[in-house]
Structure 1
Amino acid sequence: MYKIGIDVGGTNTDAIILDENRNLVHSVKSPTSLDIKTGIETSLKAVLNESNIDRTKITHAMLGTTQCTNAIVERKKLARVGVIRLGYPATASVLPYTAWPEDMVEKLSGNYALVHGGYEYDGQLLGELDEAELKTLLTEWQDKVESIAIVGVFSSIKNDQELRVRDLIHEVYGEEFPVSCSFLIGSVGLIERENATILNAALCKVIETTTEGFIRALEEEGITNAEVFLCQNDGTLMSIDYAKQFPILTIACGPTNSIRGASYLAQIKNTIVLDVGGTTSDIGVLQDGFPRESSVAVEVGGIRTNFRMPDIISIGLGGGSIVRTDHGKITVGPDSVGYKIGQEALVFGGNTLTATDIAVRLGMADIGDKSLVAHIDEEFAQKVQVEICSIIEQAIEKMKTSSEDVSLVLVGGGSIIVPNAISGISNIVKTENGGVANAIGASISQISGQYEQIYIYAKEPREKSLKDAEEKAVKQAVLAGAVPDTIELVEVEETPLAYHPENATRLRVKVVGKME
């Protein structure tokens, strides 16, 4: 039995095959294509042909993709979204799409409505739903929107109104119409939660195209019985159906795949991971084998959100980073030759000086034709290396939680440019197959489920609240494809809400389980 893992990076698309014992059978790297799809198909075809395995024995296929991120950044392939905010007139002072980039609002249609409904911070009713008002709105929006985001005031305390509106939409538009409920996506904070929900709703067409394209690519290679999963940004997997409901959870899944892969390859559960690609480097922290989650609001495509995101720092440094000298000052990146490194870097016969050329000149790597960089002055190359080291050290300092030296696991195809000694790092762990840690991370992941809600312990005791949150997290994990008997609780986070008179607490529960 075999598993296939594919991870799409900015420079390369990696594909690997693991056997039933999680041993690496074969791996390939192909340049990431502009349309993403061609790069995936090329890597898939290559890894299958070169490994020569029995394709009927492939049981699972996993994809880590940047397509949802790209769609937001490039403003392409997004659905026209209708935003229904339950909270009129209390929330009329700050309207939906406030502080959004204008081009993004135009792309999503800008349709929104403030309707009656919502709750107070303590769970008391703010306003009753007006179903006639909602039905009139849905009639007006017929054929104007392709997806709807529902956002209720304090729906993180009580979510019944959002669920009722979802039912009404399905009654009017049909069961297949894409609807995003904010209580399932964002955290406390109306505007950031609303923004995340709108983005999730906007990605419904992108995720549909992505999943169908991946399944079709597998079928064309004779893989018809494999279970297909997409990677989430917490280092776990989700089923196709779950991904279609929550496409926003694929954002930043690439770095988390690398972190999970690094943990598996190095057999370390708590450390800092540096993943060096061709264009950028990602630095993250492993906590108990999973990526540390960000505790602050995160901007996606210039839009402030508060949905679950990994705590990652990305820096413009990679194997393809362009090296320049300006008035005696050496710069490395942030621009890169990217997936064209095989044509443009000096060691491959090109005309652009890159970080990879410096690594080859200093004897740190043996790729390409080293005679093509022999003319580079060694002292200059050493100065470039000092600059590279400085960029990495500054980023690592931002991720550390203490001044003590820590160990670092180094992965990624561009890791050849990293020096052997880094200030603040006690030891650097390099692993065999670290170049495809991202695809390995995609393949070895479990299925997760997470649930977050504000509970008022004065009304519902803590033990009962914990049990309720865990049951709902388990339900999410099963929906994402986990086997119920294998699900276990891995994380509980309680954050008391200051000054609340009835001991209200934001409770976040995470569970993980095995795939079938």
Structure 2
Amino acid sequence: MPAFLGLAGWAMWVEVSRHSLGELISSSPFGAPITVATGATIVAGSYIIGAVTTPDMTRFNRSTSDVVKQTLVDIGGTTTDVGILVGGFPREASGEAELAGVRTNFRIPDVLSLGIGGGSLIAPDGSAGPRSVGYRLTEEALVFGGPTLTATDLAVAAGYAEIGDPSLVAHLDPRAALAAIAERIAETVDRMRISAAPLPVVAVGGGSVLIPDGLPGFDEVHRPGHFAVANAVGAAIAQVGGEVDQVFSGAREVMLDGARDEAVSRAERAGARTGSVRIVEVEEIPLAYLPGGATRVRVKAVGDLDLEKINA
């Protein structure tokens, strides 16, 4: 609580310091006038909403080990997709998500996309994207003898990658455009953080050659082996999971043991090999607005794929 009050006070000071005292006194209120009763209702309603939603918001602070996180940046031909890995698994979206324009409530990875990739078109002013040559990179890019200036051409000209014929882009000065790309990617990564803790960046995908070994505000940028085909590697070694997300009442240990057993059972029924399943995430959210000490429990279990079950 003291830290929260300090943060709130600092935020108010920063905002107020942008204006002079005379300006604040003489300026008229924003919006339409409201009555005292309406103002009191807004304040009371805000407190009520805070009391109701706070238990759900604490899902982001399950334990001190959650400060050890990584940002995964997947740069392909058309977009840069940024996600957060927690304990080796993607952080899931906490709210609704849109798939093909349809709002859903599925639990899917929390990903923020930016229209910059290896095939992004470079405008005369040096800006990149969101238009891209996509899969036609080997036909359109300058380094392949094509007529179109792409982000990949800039990476080759800067010496970030050895693709195509570097002599075809030797006349380019890519520094300003690549710096702008790195700045936009760093801004997207920063929007995904939920704390000020240091966040190492893991760059994958063929388009990750666009960024250097460091980003503005992020000193560590790692590229694992075979980073260009990380999506295919991930699909090949992906594990089978089982998940329980229910509201329980009763003794805590009994409740957790039952949820763990059910998660393991679901993973095995989904195709995981018996004996390889382990619990990777346990989340407890006390529901203060329900009677009986109700608690929302979410348990995730994963295990290796059992090929015999697939062939059976």
Q: TM-score, normalising length from structure 1?
A: 0.44
Residue in structure 2 matching 1:371, options 167, 181, 202? 167
In structure 1, stretches of 5+ residues that fail to align are 1-187, 189-268
Matched, 1:450 2:240: no
Q: What's the offset of the Cα at 1:361? A: 1.4
Contact 1:280 1:315 in 2 (8 A): yes
8 Å contact kept, 1:273–1:409: yes
Q: Secondary structure at the match of 1:425?
A: coil
Contact 1:322 1:332 in 2 (8 A): yes
- What amino acid is the match of 1:400? R
Q: 1:356 aligns with which of 145, 152, 173?
A: 152
Q: State which of 424, 435, 454 in structure 1 corresponds to 2:228.
A: 435
In structure 1, what residue type is equivalent to 2:111?
I
Residue 176 of structure 2 corresponds to residue 386 of structure 1 = no
Q: 5+ residue gaps in structure 2?
A: 1-55, 57-67, 307-312
User: 1:46-104, CA deviations, whole angstroms, 9 ceiling, x for partnerless residues?
Assistant: xxxxxxxxxxxxxxxxxxxxxxxxxxxxxxxxxxxxxxxxxxxxxxxxxxxxxxxxxxx
Give the distance between the partners of 1:425 and 1:485, measured in 2 at CA. 40
Answer yes or no: is the 8 Å Cα contact 1:405–1:426 preserved in 2.
Answer: no
- CA spacing shift, 1:497–1:422, aligned 2, 3 Å: same
C-alpha deviations, 1:196-224, integer Å up to 9, x for none?
xxxxxxxxxxxxxxxxxxxxxxxxxxxxx
- In structure 2, the residue matched to 1:297 is 96
Alpha-carbon contact 1:452-1:508 (below 8 Å) kept: yes
Conserved? CA contact 2:69–2:199, under 8 Å: no
CA distance in 2, matches of 1:485, 1:416: 40
Provide the residue aligned with 2:260 in structure 1: 470
Give the TM-score normalised by the residue count of structure 2. 0.72
RMSD between superposed Cα atoms in Å = 1.9
Post-superposition shift, 1:446? 2.0
State the identity as a percent: 46
> What residue identity is the alignment partner of 1:397?
D
Letter in 1 for 2:280: V
The residue number in structure 2 matching 1:272 is: 71
Aligned match of 1:312 = 111
Residue 158 of structure 2 aligns with an amino acid whose one-letter code is L
Of residues 189, 194, 208, the one that matches 1:401 is 194
- In structure 2, distance between residues paired with 1:421 and 1:447: 34
**Which deviations, in whole Å up to 9, do the C-alpha atoms of 1:292-351 show, x marking residues without a partner?**
1221221222222222111211111111011112xxx43211121111101011111111
Distance 1:303 1:465 in 2: 35
Match of 2:294 in 1: 504
SS at match of 1:401: coil
2:212 matched to which residue of 1? Answer: 419
CA distance in 1, matches of 2:147, 2:194: 42
- 1:415-467, Cα deviation, whole Å (9 max, x unpaired): 11112331121222123311111111122222211011122x2xx33333223
* CA–CA distance in structure 2, aligned partners of residues 467 and 417 of structure 1: 47
Residue 399 of structure 1: CA displacement? 1.6
The alpha carbon displacement at 1:404 in A equals 4.5
> Could you tell me how far apart the structure 2 residues matched to 1:404 and 1:498 are?
29
The separation in 1 between residues aligned to 2:301 and 2:223, in whole angstroms, is: 30
2:180 aligned partner, one-letter code: E
**Deviant stretches of 4+, over 6 Å:** none
Matches of 2:294 and 2:186, distance apart in 1: 41
SS in 1 for 2:126: strand
How far, CA to CA, are the matches of 2:219 and 2:156 in structure 1?
25
AA partner of residue 251 (structure 2): P
Kept in 1: contact 2:143–2:169 (CA 8 A): yes
Map 1:52-451; keep pairs closer than 5 Å: 270-325=69-124, 329-376=125-172, 378=173, 381-451=174-244
Is the 1:291–1:310 Cα contact (8 Å) retained in structure 2? yes
8 Å CA contact 2:118, 2:150 repeated in 1: yes
Letter aligned with residue 257 of structure 2: K
Do 1:411 and 1:437's aligned partners in 2 also have CA atoms closer than 8 Å?
Answer: yes
Counterpart for residue 202 of structure 1: none
Q: In the alignment, is the contact (CA less than 8 A) between 1:404 and 1:424 conserved in 2?
A: no
Tell me if structure 2 keeps the 8 A contact 1:406–1:424.
no
The answer to whether the 8 Å contact 2:213/2:222 transfers is no
Following superposition, the deviation at residue 396 of structure 1 comes to: 0.9
Secondary structure at the counterpart of residue 291 of structure 2: coil
Task: Tell me how far apart the structure 2 counterparts of residues 300 and 340 of structure 1 sit (CA, whole Å).
Answer: 26
> 1:342 & 1:293 partners in 2: Cα distance?
35
> Aligned pair in 2 of structure 1 residues 366, 397: CA closer, same or farther (>3 Å)?
same
Higher-strand-fraction structure: 1
Number of the residue aligned with 2:303: 513
More moved, 421-430 vs 338-347 = 421-430
Equivalent residue, structure 2, for 1:144: none
CA distance in 2, matches of 1:501, 1:430: 50
TM-aligned CA distance change 1:488 to 1:363, over 3 Å: closer
